[in-house]
Structure 1
Amino acid sequence: MLSGLHPLPKLLVCLAWIAASIVVFDLGFQLMTIALSSAALIVLERRSPLFVLLVMVPFALFGFGFLTTSILFRQESDFAVRMAAEQAFSSPAVSAGLVLFARAVACGMVSAVFGLTTDPGALVKALMIHWRLPPQIGFALFAAIQLVPDLGREAQQIRLARAMREGRLPRRIPGPAEAASLVVPLLAYAIRRAGRSAMAMEARGLSRNAPRTFLSAPRIGRGDWIFVLAATALLASCLTLIG
Protein backbone atom coordinates (compact mmCIF):
# COMPACT_ATOMS: atom_id res chain seq x y z
CA MET A 1 0.00 0.00 0.00
CA LEU A 2 2.67 2.50 0.99
CA SER A 3 4.78 1.45 -2.00
CA GLY A 4 2.12 2.78 -4.38
CA LEU A 5 2.10 6.29 -2.93
CA HIS A 6 3.81 9.28 -4.51
CA PRO A 7 7.35 9.66 -3.09
CA LEU A 8 7.26 13.39 -2.31
CA PRO A 9 4.17 13.55 -0.04
CA LYS A 10 5.46 10.44 1.72
CA LEU A 11 8.85 12.13 2.13
CA LEU A 12 7.29 15.24 3.67
CA VAL A 13 5.23 13.13 6.08
CA CYS A 14 8.28 11.14 7.17
CA LEU A 15 10.29 14.33 7.66
CA ALA A 16 7.48 15.75 9.80
CA TRP A 17 7.51 12.64 12.02
CA ILE A 18 11.30 12.75 12.32
CA ALA A 19 11.21 16.46 13.21
CA ALA A 20 8.58 15.76 15.87
CA SER A 21 10.68 12.92 17.28
CA ILE A 22 13.67 15.24 17.54
CA VAL A 23 11.78 18.13 19.10
CA VAL A 24 9.50 16.20 21.49
CA PHE A 25 11.62 14.85 24.35
CA ASP A 26 9.11 12.30 25.62
CA LEU A 27 9.55 8.54 25.89
CA GLY A 28 5.89 7.82 25.22
CA PHE A 29 5.92 9.67 21.92
CA GLN A 30 9.07 7.87 20.79
CA LEU A 31 7.54 4.49 21.63
CA MET A 32 4.36 5.40 19.75
CA THR A 33 6.44 6.38 16.72
CA ILE A 34 8.33 3.08 16.83
CA ALA A 35 5.11 1.09 17.20
CA LEU A 36 3.34 2.91 14.36
CA SER A 37 6.33 2.58 12.01
CA SER A 38 6.62 -1.13 12.76
CA ALA A 39 2.88 -1.61 12.29
CA ALA A 40 3.01 0.18 8.94
CA LEU A 41 5.67 -2.22 7.70
CA ILE A 42 3.98 -5.33 9.11
CA VAL A 43 0.33 -4.57 8.34
CA LEU A 44 0.45 -2.38 5.24
CA GLU A 45 3.58 -3.75 3.57
CA ARG A 46 3.22 -7.40 4.69
CA ARG A 47 6.73 -7.52 6.13
CA SER A 48 7.47 -10.21 8.69
CA PRO A 49 7.95 -9.13 12.32
CA LEU A 50 11.39 -10.76 12.29
CA PHE A 51 12.40 -8.59 9.33
CA VAL A 52 11.21 -5.48 11.15
CA LEU A 53 13.23 -6.44 14.22
CA LEU A 54 16.33 -6.96 12.09
CA VAL A 55 15.83 -3.53 10.52
CA MET A 56 15.58 -2.06 14.01
CA VAL A 57 18.87 -3.56 15.20
CA PRO A 58 21.30 -0.98 13.65
CA PHE A 59 19.27 1.93 15.01
CA ALA A 60 19.09 0.26 18.43
CA LEU A 61 22.86 -0.17 18.48
CA PHE A 62 23.26 3.50 17.58
CA GLY A 63 20.83 4.53 20.32
CA PHE A 64 22.57 2.25 22.81
CA GLY A 65 25.54 4.62 22.62
CA PHE A 66 23.34 7.48 23.85
CA LEU A 67 21.98 5.27 26.62
CA THR A 68 25.39 4.21 27.93
CA THR A 69 26.76 7.73 27.66
CA SER A 70 23.84 9.12 29.63
CA ILE A 71 23.96 6.48 32.37
CA LEU A 72 27.66 5.74 32.74
CA PHE A 73 29.35 9.01 31.82
CA ARG A 74 26.61 11.53 32.63
CA GLN A 75 27.34 13.67 29.55
CA GLU A 76 23.74 14.55 28.73
CA SER A 77 22.73 18.18 28.27
CA ASP A 78 20.96 20.27 30.88
CA PHE A 79 17.87 20.33 28.68
CA ALA A 80 17.80 16.52 28.55
CA VAL A 81 18.09 16.25 32.33
CA ARG A 82 15.40 18.88 32.91
CA MET A 83 12.98 17.15 30.52
CA ALA A 84 13.89 13.70 31.82
CA ALA A 85 13.01 14.75 35.35
CA GLU A 86 9.36 14.78 34.24
CA GLN A 87 9.52 11.12 33.14
CA ALA A 88 8.41 8.19 35.26
CA PHE A 89 11.91 7.05 36.25
CA SER A 90 13.68 7.89 39.45
CA SER A 91 17.04 8.71 37.91
CA PRO A 92 17.22 11.61 35.42
CA ALA A 93 20.23 9.97 33.78
CA VAL A 94 18.27 6.77 33.11
CA SER A 95 15.26 8.73 31.86
CA ALA A 96 17.33 10.89 29.53
CA GLY A 97 19.22 7.84 28.23
CA LEU A 98 16.03 5.91 27.51
CA VAL A 99 14.47 8.83 25.67
CA LEU A 100 17.60 9.35 23.57
CA PHE A 101 17.77 5.61 22.86
CA ALA A 102 14.12 5.48 21.80
CA ARG A 103 14.49 8.64 19.72
CA ALA A 104 17.33 7.11 17.69
CA VAL A 105 15.24 4.00 17.04
CA ALA A 106 12.13 6.07 16.22
CA CYS A 107 13.91 8.28 13.68
CA GLY A 108 15.57 5.24 12.16
CA MET A 109 12.31 3.32 11.81
CA VAL A 110 10.56 6.26 10.15
CA SER A 111 13.47 6.49 7.72
CA ALA A 112 13.23 2.72 7.14
CA VAL A 113 9.53 3.04 6.31
CA PHE A 114 10.34 5.57 3.62
CA GLY A 115 13.37 3.72 2.29
CA LEU A 116 11.70 0.30 2.14
CA THR A 117 8.52 1.55 0.49
CA THR A 118 9.92 4.01 -2.06
CA ASP A 119 11.31 3.19 -5.48
CA PRO A 120 14.56 5.20 -5.94
CA GLY A 121 13.89 5.77 -9.64
CA ALA A 122 10.41 7.13 -8.95
CA LEU A 123 11.82 9.42 -6.26
CA VAL A 124 14.42 10.87 -8.64
CA LYS A 125 11.79 11.40 -11.35
CA ALA A 126 9.49 13.14 -8.87
CA LEU A 127 12.32 15.40 -7.71
CA MET A 128 13.12 16.33 -11.31
CA ILE A 129 9.48 17.06 -12.20
CA HIS A 130 8.12 18.74 -9.08
CA TRP A 131 11.18 20.13 -7.27
CA ARG A 132 13.20 21.08 -10.38
CA LEU A 133 16.15 18.81 -9.68
CA PRO A 134 18.77 19.53 -12.41
CA PRO A 135 18.82 16.79 -15.05
CA GLN A 136 22.59 16.39 -14.69
CA ILE A 137 22.15 15.41 -11.04
CA GLY A 138 19.07 13.33 -11.78
CA PHE A 139 20.71 11.20 -14.46
CA ALA A 140 23.83 10.85 -12.31
CA LEU A 141 21.60 9.45 -9.55
CA PHE A 142 19.99 7.08 -12.05
CA ALA A 143 23.45 5.84 -13.03
CA ALA A 144 24.39 5.34 -9.38
CA ILE A 145 21.16 3.43 -8.70
CA GLN A 146 21.99 1.03 -11.52
CA LEU A 147 25.67 0.79 -10.62
CA VAL A 148 25.28 -0.34 -7.00
CA PRO A 149 23.56 -3.70 -7.71
CA ASP A 150 25.80 -4.23 -10.75
CA LEU A 151 28.85 -3.95 -8.52
CA GLY A 152 27.53 -6.75 -6.34
CA ARG A 153 26.89 -8.99 -9.35
CA GLU A 154 30.32 -8.19 -10.79
CA ALA A 155 31.98 -9.06 -7.49
CA GLN A 156 30.12 -12.36 -7.39
CA GLN A 157 31.21 -13.19 -10.95
CA ILE A 158 34.85 -12.45 -10.11
CA ARG A 159 34.66 -14.68 -7.04
CA LEU A 160 33.07 -17.52 -9.03
CA ALA A 161 35.72 -17.22 -11.78
CA ARG A 162 38.53 -17.36 -9.24
CA ALA A 163 36.98 -20.37 -7.48
CA MET A 164 36.60 -22.25 -10.78
CA ARG A 165 40.22 -21.48 -11.71
CA GLU A 166 41.45 -22.78 -8.34
CA GLY A 167 39.13 -25.81 -8.41
CA ARG A 168 37.25 -25.07 -5.19
CA LEU A 169 33.82 -24.02 -4.06
CA PRO A 170 33.32 -20.27 -3.52
CA ARG A 171 33.00 -19.19 0.09
CA ARG A 172 29.63 -17.93 1.20
CA ILE A 173 31.20 -14.84 2.79
CA PRO A 174 34.53 -13.56 1.43
CA GLY A 175 37.39 -13.28 3.89
CA PRO A 176 39.37 -10.09 4.50
CA ALA A 177 42.08 -11.03 1.98
CA GLU A 178 39.55 -11.94 -0.72
CA ALA A 179 37.52 -8.78 -0.09
CA ALA A 180 40.68 -6.65 -0.38
CA SER A 181 41.60 -8.34 -3.66
CA LEU A 182 38.24 -7.31 -5.14
CA VAL A 183 38.84 -3.58 -4.66
CA VAL A 184 40.98 -2.97 -7.75
CA PRO A 185 38.86 -4.91 -10.31
CA LEU A 186 35.66 -3.39 -8.95
CA LEU A 187 37.20 0.08 -9.09
CA ALA A 188 38.21 -0.51 -12.71
CA TYR A 189 34.68 -1.72 -13.48
CA ALA A 190 33.15 1.36 -11.83
CA ILE A 191 35.45 3.68 -13.81
CA ARG A 192 34.46 2.03 -17.09
CA ARG A 193 30.79 2.33 -16.21
CA ALA A 194 31.23 5.97 -15.21
CA GLY A 195 32.86 6.74 -18.58
CA ARG A 196 30.03 5.08 -20.47
CA SER A 197 27.45 6.92 -18.37
CA ALA A 198 29.19 10.24 -19.05
CA MET A 199 29.12 9.62 -22.80
CA ALA A 200 25.43 8.61 -22.61
CA MET A 201 24.58 11.76 -20.67
CA GLU A 202 26.48 13.88 -23.19
CA ALA A 203 24.62 12.21 -26.05
CA ARG A 204 21.29 12.99 -24.37
CA GLY A 205 22.11 16.69 -24.43
CA LEU A 206 21.58 17.38 -20.75
CA SER A 207 21.36 21.14 -20.99
CA ARG A 208 19.58 22.94 -18.19
CA ASN A 209 16.79 24.61 -20.22
CA ALA A 210 16.06 21.92 -22.78
CA PRO A 211 12.52 20.46 -22.74
CA ARG A 212 12.35 16.80 -21.79
CA THR A 213 9.78 14.09 -21.21
CA PHE A 214 9.51 11.43 -18.51
CA LEU A 215 8.18 7.90 -18.92
CA SER A 216 6.10 6.40 -16.10
CA ALA A 217 6.38 9.57 -14.06
CA PRO A 218 4.59 9.34 -10.67
CA ARG A 219 1.53 11.53 -10.21
CA ILE A 220 -0.07 12.78 -7.04
CA GLY A 221 -3.54 11.30 -6.66
CA ARG A 222 -6.40 11.20 -4.19
CA GLY A 223 -4.79 8.39 -2.21
CA ASP A 224 -1.73 10.54 -1.57
CA TRP A 225 -3.81 13.34 -0.11
CA ILE A 226 -5.71 10.86 2.06
CA PHE A 227 -2.41 9.48 3.31
CA VAL A 228 -1.07 12.96 4.12
CA LEU A 229 -4.23 13.93 6.01
CA ALA A 230 -4.36 10.63 7.91
CA ALA A 231 -0.67 10.75 8.85
CA THR A 232 -0.94 14.40 9.92
CA ALA A 233 -4.01 13.67 12.02
CA LEU A 234 -2.25 10.71 13.60
CA LEU A 235 0.77 12.84 14.41
CA ALA A 236 -1.45 15.51 15.97
CA SER A 237 -3.24 12.85 18.01
CA CYS A 238 0.02 11.46 19.36
CA LEU A 239 1.20 14.94 20.30
CA THR A 240 -2.12 15.59 22.02
CA LEU A 241 -1.89 12.37 24.03
CA ILE A 242 1.47 13.24 25.49
CA GLY A 243 0.51 16.85 26.05
Structure 2
Amino acid sequence: MLKAFHPLPKLALCLAWIAGSLLIFQLWFQVTLFCAASALLLLDARIPPRRLLVLMIPFVLFGFGFFTTSVLFRAESGFAVQMAQEQGGTPAVAPGLVLFFRVLACGMTSAVFALTTDPGQFVRALMQHLRLPAAMGFALMQAMHMVPDLRGEMLQLRMARAIRLGRPLRRIPTPAEAVALAIPLLAYAIRRATRAALAFEARGLHPNRKRSQLPQPPITRSDWVLLSVGSLLLLAMTAMPLITAT
Protein backbone atom coordinates (compact mmCIF):
# COMPACT_ATOMS: atom_id res chain seq x y z
CA MET A 1 0.00 0.00 0.00
CA LEU A 2 2.68 2.51 1.00
CA LYS A 3 4.90 1.75 -1.99
CA ALA A 4 1.99 2.46 -4.33
CA PHE A 5 1.21 5.71 -2.48
CA HIS A 6 2.16 8.75 -4.59
CA PRO A 7 5.36 10.36 -3.21
CA LEU A 8 4.03 13.91 -2.85
CA PRO A 9 0.87 13.17 -0.77
CA LYS A 10 2.94 10.69 1.24
CA LEU A 11 5.54 13.37 1.94
CA ALA A 12 2.85 15.86 2.98
CA LEU A 13 1.26 13.30 5.32
CA CYS A 14 4.58 12.31 6.92
CA LEU A 15 5.52 15.96 7.45
CA ALA A 16 2.12 16.61 9.03
CA TRP A 17 2.58 13.73 11.48
CA ILE A 18 6.11 14.90 12.33
CA ALA A 19 4.77 18.41 12.93
CA GLY A 20 2.08 16.92 15.18
CA SER A 21 4.74 15.05 17.13
CA LEU A 22 6.73 18.26 17.60
CA LEU A 23 3.71 20.27 18.74
CA ILE A 24 1.91 17.76 21.00
CA PHE A 25 3.84 17.13 24.22
CA GLN A 26 1.95 13.99 25.25
CA LEU A 27 3.52 10.61 25.92
CA TRP A 28 0.59 8.63 24.55
CA PHE A 29 0.77 10.52 21.24
CA GLN A 30 4.49 9.86 20.80
CA VAL A 31 4.18 6.17 21.71
CA THR A 32 1.18 5.72 19.40
CA LEU A 33 2.96 7.36 16.47
CA PHE A 34 6.11 5.33 17.09
CA CYS A 35 4.18 2.03 17.27
CA ALA A 36 2.10 2.88 14.19
CA ALA A 37 5.14 3.78 12.09
CA SER A 38 6.99 0.64 13.22
CA ALA A 39 3.96 -1.52 12.43
CA LEU A 40 3.70 -0.03 8.94
CA LEU A 41 7.37 -0.77 8.29
CA LEU A 42 7.03 -4.34 9.54
CA LEU A 43 3.68 -5.32 8.05
CA ASP A 44 3.30 -3.17 4.93
CA ALA A 45 6.87 -2.41 3.83
CA ARG A 46 8.05 -5.91 4.91
CA ILE A 47 11.15 -4.56 6.64
CA PRO A 48 12.86 -7.37 8.61
CA PRO A 49 12.68 -6.85 12.40
CA ARG A 50 16.46 -7.00 12.72
CA ARG A 51 16.94 -4.26 10.17
CA LEU A 52 14.27 -2.17 11.88
CA LEU A 53 16.07 -2.51 15.22
CA VAL A 54 19.35 -1.46 13.61
CA LEU A 55 17.55 1.51 12.06
CA MET A 56 16.36 2.61 15.50
CA ILE A 57 19.87 2.72 16.99
CA PRO A 58 20.77 6.32 15.92
CA PHE A 59 17.46 7.66 17.23
CA VAL A 60 17.79 5.71 20.48
CA LEU A 61 21.30 7.07 21.02
CA PHE A 62 20.11 10.60 20.26
CA GLY A 63 17.37 10.47 22.90
CA PHE A 64 19.14 8.19 25.37
CA GLY A 65 20.35 11.12 27.44
CA PHE A 66 16.79 12.29 28.13
CA PHE A 67 15.75 8.73 28.97
CA THR A 68 18.55 8.02 31.44
CA THR A 69 18.25 11.43 33.12
CA SER A 70 14.50 11.13 33.51
CA VAL A 71 13.95 7.44 34.27
CA LEU A 72 17.18 6.16 35.82
CA PHE A 73 18.35 9.21 37.76
CA ARG A 74 14.91 10.71 38.52
CA ALA A 75 16.02 14.15 37.40
CA GLU A 76 15.03 16.41 34.54
CA SER A 77 17.17 18.64 32.37
CA GLY A 78 16.28 22.30 32.08
CA PHE A 79 15.58 21.92 28.37
CA ALA A 80 13.07 19.10 28.95
CA VAL A 81 11.27 21.05 31.68
CA GLN A 82 11.11 24.17 29.51
CA MET A 83 9.72 22.19 26.57
CA ALA A 84 7.05 20.66 28.80
CA GLN A 85 6.02 24.07 30.14
CA GLU A 86 5.87 25.69 26.71
CA GLN A 87 3.94 22.84 25.04
CA GLY A 88 1.50 21.99 27.82
CA GLY A 89 3.05 18.81 29.17
CA THR A 90 1.40 17.11 32.13
CA PRO A 91 3.39 16.94 35.38
CA ALA A 92 2.41 13.28 35.81
CA VAL A 93 4.67 12.21 32.93
CA ALA A 94 8.42 12.76 32.91
CA PRO A 95 9.36 15.28 30.17
CA GLY A 96 12.52 13.37 29.32
CA LEU A 97 10.52 10.25 28.56
CA VAL A 98 8.28 12.22 26.20
CA LEU A 99 11.31 13.65 24.39
CA PHE A 100 12.85 10.19 24.09
CA PHE A 101 9.77 8.75 22.38
CA ARG A 102 9.40 11.92 20.29
CA VAL A 103 12.81 11.25 18.74
CA LEU A 104 11.78 7.65 17.99
CA ALA A 105 8.40 8.71 16.59
CA CYS A 106 9.88 11.33 14.25
CA GLY A 107 12.66 8.96 13.19
CA MET A 108 10.33 6.08 12.36
CA THR A 109 7.91 8.39 10.53
CA SER A 110 10.74 9.68 8.34
CA ALA A 111 11.85 6.06 7.80
CA VAL A 112 8.34 5.21 6.55
CA PHE A 113 8.77 7.74 3.76
CA ALA A 114 12.41 6.93 3.00
CA LEU A 115 12.01 3.14 2.85
CA THR A 116 8.76 3.04 0.87
CA THR A 117 9.50 5.70 -1.76
CA ASP A 118 11.45 5.26 -4.97
CA PRO A 119 13.96 8.16 -5.07
CA GLY A 120 13.82 8.54 -8.85
CA GLN A 121 10.03 8.64 -8.87
CA PHE A 122 10.07 11.19 -6.05
CA VAL A 123 12.45 13.52 -7.89
CA ARG A 124 10.50 13.19 -11.14
CA ALA A 125 7.28 13.99 -9.25
CA LEU A 126 8.93 17.11 -7.84
CA MET A 127 9.99 18.14 -11.33
CA GLN A 128 6.58 17.57 -12.85
CA HIS A 129 4.19 18.74 -10.12
CA LEU A 130 6.22 21.28 -8.11
CA ARG A 131 8.30 22.68 -10.98
CA LEU A 132 11.66 21.64 -9.55
CA PRO A 133 14.34 22.90 -12.00
CA ALA A 134 15.54 20.14 -14.28
CA ALA A 135 19.22 20.77 -13.49
CA MET A 136 18.57 20.41 -9.76
CA GLY A 137 16.43 17.32 -10.26
CA PHE A 138 18.99 15.51 -12.39
CA ALA A 139 21.74 16.54 -9.94
CA LEU A 140 19.77 14.93 -7.11
CA MET A 141 19.31 11.74 -9.10
CA GLN A 142 23.02 11.66 -9.94
CA ALA A 143 23.87 12.03 -6.24
CA MET A 144 21.45 9.26 -5.24
CA HIS A 145 23.01 6.89 -7.78
CA MET A 146 26.53 8.02 -6.93
CA VAL A 147 26.47 6.88 -3.29
CA PRO A 148 25.68 3.16 -3.88
CA ASP A 149 27.99 3.08 -6.92
CA LEU A 150 30.81 4.51 -4.83
CA ARG A 151 30.24 1.82 -2.24
CA GLY A 152 30.36 -0.88 -4.93
CA GLU A 153 33.56 0.57 -6.37
CA MET A 154 35.16 0.58 -2.92
CA LEU A 155 34.22 -3.08 -2.43
CA GLN A 156 35.77 -4.01 -5.78
CA LEU A 157 38.97 -2.15 -4.92
CA ARG A 158 39.18 -3.88 -1.54
CA MET A 159 38.64 -7.29 -3.14
CA ALA A 160 41.36 -6.62 -5.73
CA ARG A 161 43.71 -5.44 -3.00
CA ALA A 162 43.01 -8.56 -0.88
CA ILE A 163 43.66 -10.86 -3.87
CA ARG A 164 46.92 -9.06 -4.68
CA LEU A 165 48.13 -9.35 -1.09
CA GLY A 166 46.93 -12.95 -0.77
CA ARG A 167 44.83 -12.50 2.36
CA PRO A 168 41.10 -12.73 3.11
CA LEU A 169 38.90 -9.66 2.82
CA ARG A 170 38.43 -7.95 6.18
CA ARG A 171 34.96 -6.98 7.24
CA ILE A 172 36.09 -3.50 8.32
CA PRO A 173 39.01 -1.82 6.48
CA THR A 174 42.04 -0.87 8.54
CA PRO A 175 43.16 2.80 8.69
CA ALA A 176 46.07 2.03 6.33
CA GLU A 177 43.71 0.41 3.83
CA ALA A 178 41.29 3.34 4.03
CA VAL A 179 44.11 5.78 3.26
CA ALA A 180 45.26 3.64 0.33
CA LEU A 181 41.73 3.61 -1.12
CA ALA A 182 41.23 7.37 -0.86
CA ILE A 183 43.00 8.32 -4.11
CA PRO A 184 41.35 5.63 -6.33
CA LEU A 185 37.92 6.53 -4.95
CA LEU A 186 38.59 10.22 -5.54
CA ALA A 187 39.59 9.48 -9.13
CA TYR A 188 36.42 7.42 -9.61
CA ALA A 189 34.28 10.26 -8.22
CA ILE A 190 35.95 12.78 -10.55
CA ARG A 191 35.28 10.52 -13.57
CA ARG A 192 31.64 10.16 -12.56
CA ALA A 193 31.30 13.91 -12.09
CA THR A 194 32.82 14.54 -15.54
CA ARG A 195 30.40 12.08 -17.15
CA ALA A 196 27.49 13.68 -15.31
CA ALA A 197 28.53 17.13 -16.55
CA LEU A 198 28.69 15.86 -20.13
CA ALA A 199 25.27 14.24 -19.72
CA PHE A 200 23.85 17.51 -18.36
CA GLU A 201 25.25 19.35 -21.34
CA ALA A 202 23.82 16.79 -23.77
CA ARG A 203 20.38 17.05 -22.16
CA GLY A 204 20.38 20.82 -22.56
CA LEU A 205 19.74 21.53 -18.89
CA HIS A 206 19.53 25.29 -19.19
CA PRO A 207 17.15 27.49 -17.19
CA ASN A 208 13.97 28.97 -18.74
CA ARG A 209 13.79 26.32 -21.45
CA LYS A 210 10.69 24.25 -22.12
CA ARG A 211 11.21 20.55 -21.63
CA SER A 212 9.18 17.46 -22.31
CA GLN A 213 8.49 15.03 -19.47
CA LEU A 214 8.11 11.28 -19.50
CA PRO A 215 4.65 10.20 -18.33
CA GLN A 216 4.58 9.92 -14.54
CA PRO A 217 1.97 8.20 -12.34
CA PRO A 218 -0.70 10.79 -11.49
CA ILE A 219 -2.16 11.40 -8.06
CA THR A 220 -5.12 9.01 -8.01
CA ARG A 221 -8.28 8.86 -5.95
CA SER A 222 -6.78 6.24 -3.66
CA ASP A 223 -3.90 8.61 -2.91
CA TRP A 224 -6.37 11.33 -1.90
CA VAL A 225 -8.26 8.81 0.23
CA LEU A 226 -5.09 7.76 2.08
CA LEU A 227 -4.12 11.40 2.56
CA SER A 228 -7.58 12.24 3.91
CA VAL A 229 -7.66 9.26 6.27
CA GLY A 230 -4.21 10.04 7.64
CA SER A 231 -5.09 13.72 8.09
CA LEU A 232 -8.37 12.90 9.85
CA LEU A 233 -6.58 10.53 12.22
CA LEU A 234 -4.08 13.26 13.03
CA LEU A 235 -6.85 15.79 13.68
CA ALA A 236 -8.73 13.29 15.86
CA MET A 237 -5.65 12.54 17.95
CA THR A 238 -4.88 16.27 18.23
CA ALA A 239 -8.42 17.05 19.43
CA MET A 240 -8.60 14.12 21.84
CA PRO A 241 -6.93 15.92 24.78
CA LEU A 242 -9.37 18.83 24.37
CA ILE A 243 -12.35 16.48 24.34
CA THR A 244 -11.21 14.56 27.41
CA ALA A 245 -10.48 17.81 29.29
CA THR A 246 -14.04 19.04 28.81
Hey, what's the Cα distance between the residues in 1 that align with 2:169 and 2:48?
A: 30
Equivalent residue for 1:92? none
Does the CA contact (< 8 Å) of 1:69 and 1:75 recur in 2? no
Unaligned 5+ residue runs, structure 2?
A: none
Equivalent residue for 2:231? 232
State which drifts further: 117-126 or 45-54. 45-54
* 1:192 to 2:191 alignment: yes
Equivalent residue for 2:161? 162
* 1:76 to 2:111 alignment: no
Equivalent residue for 1:137? 136
How far the C-alpha of 1:208 sits from its partner, in A, is 1.9
TM-score, normalised relative to structure 2: 0.89
Amino acid at match of 1:181: A
How far the C-alpha of 1:110 sits from its partner, in A, is 0.4
How far the C-alpha of 1:72 sits from its partner, in A, is 5.5
Equivalent residue for 1:111? 110
Hey, what's the Cα distance between the residues in 2 that align with 1:108 and 1:145?
A: 20
Following superposition of structure 1 onto structure 2, how do residues 7-26 of structure 1 map, counting pairs within 5 Å? Answer: 7-26=7-26
Does the CA contact (< 8 Å) of 1:59 and 1:105 recur in 2? yes
How far the C-alpha of 1:217 sits from its partner, in A, is 1.9
What SS does the aligned partner of 2:79 have?
coil
Amino acid at match of 1:86: T
Amino acid at match of 1:178: E
Write the deviation string for residues 61-93 of structure 1: whole angstroms up to 9, x where unpaired.
Answer: 11113334666672325533436762434xxxx
Does the CA contact (< 8 Å) of 2:25 and 2:89 recur in 1? no
Equivalent residue for 1:202? 201
TM-score, normalised relative to structure 1: 0.90
Write the deviation string for residues 138-197 of structure 1: whole angstroms up to 9, x where unpaired.
Answer: 111111111111101110111111111111221122223222322221111111110110
Following superposition of structure 1 onto structure 2, how do residues 28-67 of structure 1 map, counting pairs within 5 Å? Answer: 28-67=28-67
Hey, what's the Cα distance between the residues in 2 that align with 1:45 and 1:85?
A: 33
CA RMSD of aligned residues (A): 2.0
Does the CA contact (< 8 Å) of 1:128 and 1:134 recur in 2? yes
Hey, what's the Cα distance between the residues in 2 that align with 1:85 and 1:152?
A: 45
Across the two proteins, how many residue pairs are aligned to each other?
A: 238
Write the deviation string for residues 27-84 of structure 1: whole angstroms up to 9, x where unpaired.
Answer: 1100010011011112222223333222222111111133346666723255334367
* 1:182 to 2:181 alignment: yes
Change (3 A) 1:132 1:148: same
Query: Percent identity over the alignment?
Result: 51
Hey, what's the Cα distance between the residues in 1 that align with 2:184 and 2:136?
A: 26
Amino acid at match of 2:90: E
